[in-house]
Amino acid sequence: MPFSDYKTALVTGASSGIGAAVVERLCAEGLQVHALARSADKLAELAERTGCIAHAIDVTDLAGLTALFQRQRFDILVNNAGVDRPGSLLKADAEGIDLLVDVNLRAVLHLARLALPGMVERDSGHIINISSIAAAYNFGGNATYHATKAAVSMLSKQLRVDAFGRRVRVTEICPGRVATDIFAHVHGDSEEVRQRFIEGFELPEAKDIANAIAFAIAAPVSMNVGHMEITPTLQVPGGLSTARPQDYQA
């Protein structure tokens, strides 16, 4: 579907990283792009650079989201906002679990609920959910994050069922490691964190994910790009661990 068939887009988590790159990419296509995030200062800079419309709203603010959808229709919704608190469920706290569920899942459900009826009524629209390879693969001690991303993966499939018979497309983007500042947000902005996650690796950049999203949007209306797993060429998920009981006995 040509970009010209769409007029408006909403991108969450838009103040930096993949979200900001998506805003830039969609603005370059001539869309009216609404950028939503908590950071008013970063959104103001993004708006000055791209011409997007900034909304300093937390994705957990249901009243704020509802009011926005009452004022504005969106042809494209990019659910990008997400948080992580790594660690085993054995050591998780209630606040961390609630935060991840609220941002990574509940907000996505509500945004889809607000966007989908209008798209179905207009027989046109596209929802892009940014999940993670964590939706499909297990890696060390991150149960709540895995659970929320797996739920978004299933939701992405279910949204197509809910909109069946209408030209509403749904794309799930599953990034592996990408060279963004998410690692600094999660682990702290330090040289050790950059060395551990970024420096020396050949990684996709935020603009590469934005270009993949643009590809899915620009595909013919008869074609739904349902799932894209995007990882570094030199990254593979998986692995198998086998424990000796005596190694874990107190």
Under 8 Å between Cβ of 35 and 55: yes
Chain Cα centroid distance, residue 4: 24
Active site residue: 6, 137, 145, 248, which one? 145
φ/ψ bin of 242: left (φ > 0), alpha (ψ from -120 to 50), beta (otherwise): beta
DSSP alpha helices (H): ranges in 51-142? 62-71, 94-100, 107-122
Under 8 Å between Cβ of 60 and 111: no
* Structure-token pair, residue 143: 């149960």
Q: What is the per-residue DSSP string for 13-29? A: STTSHHHHHHHHHHHHT
Report CA-CA distances (Å) from 57 to 13, 43, 67, 211. 10, 11, 11, 25
Return the beta strands (E) in the chain as ranges. 8-12, 32-37, 53-56, 76-79, 125-130, 168-175, 227-230
Question: Is 6 an active-site residue?
Answer: no
Total H helices, total E strands in the chain: 9, 7
Query: What residues are labeled active site?
Result: 145
